[in-house]
Structure 1
Amino acid sequence: MNLNAVQEIEHAIDALTPDQREELYVWLDEHYLQTGDMQLKAAIDAGRFDDRITRALADHKAGRTEPL
């Protein structure tokens, strides 16, 4: 996508009514943001975070963590 296309999209979004903008946000959430959620779930299911989780739990058990 070239810069002109991005600028065209920006201008089109700026021209939307609040209701149309809300509809766009819902559509983006359904089509794009949930894709990231599915990728994260797949990574978790594949064990890609197991090492980090194990280290974090060990640090917490050893008292090397602080409340947020």
Structure 2
Amino acid sequence: MSIIFFYCFVSFKAVKTIFYDYLYTAYKAETMTILEHIEAQVQQLSPSDFAKFREWFQEYAWQQWDRQIEQDSKSGKLQALAEKALADHAAGRTKPL
């Protein structure tokens, strides 16, 4: 009888632990931001997968940068800077590279 009780107790404790872990994970998943999810996933990458991810992300970041520069150029945001640079060059305040 004590063996059966012990088995039931251990089994119940295991089920209880699994259930609590499940609830905590579900709760944590609901309260985590998208960024926190991404951070958690990146931290679990293998070194080779992390290297691939890093390469992809750097390329993605450069593409975003290029798009932003193009948008700023088309909208005229860079016009004042270009005019100042040309005026400085015309006034002799620049050096050859």
Aligned to 2:95: 66
2:53 matched to 1:24?
Answer: yes
**1:47 offset after TM fit, Å?**
1.8
5+ residue gaps in structure 1?
Answer: none
Q: Between 11-20 and 46-55, report the one with greater CA deviation.
A: 11-20
Amino acid at match of 1:60: H
TM-score normalised by L of structure 2: 0.48
* Aligned AA (2:48): D
Rounded to whole Å, the distance in 1 between the matches of 2:46 and 2:96 is: 43
1:52 match: 81
C-alpha deviation, 1:21, in angstroms: 1.5
**Deviation readout 1:12-58 (Å, 9 max, x if unpaired):** 54553332112112332354x11222011111122211111111111
Aligned length in residues: 64
What TM-score does the superposition give when structure 1 sets the normalisation length?
0.62
Task: Show structure 2 runs of 5+ residues with no match.
Answer: 1-32
Q: Sequence identity, in percent? A: 31
Is 1:37 the equivalent of 2:66? yes
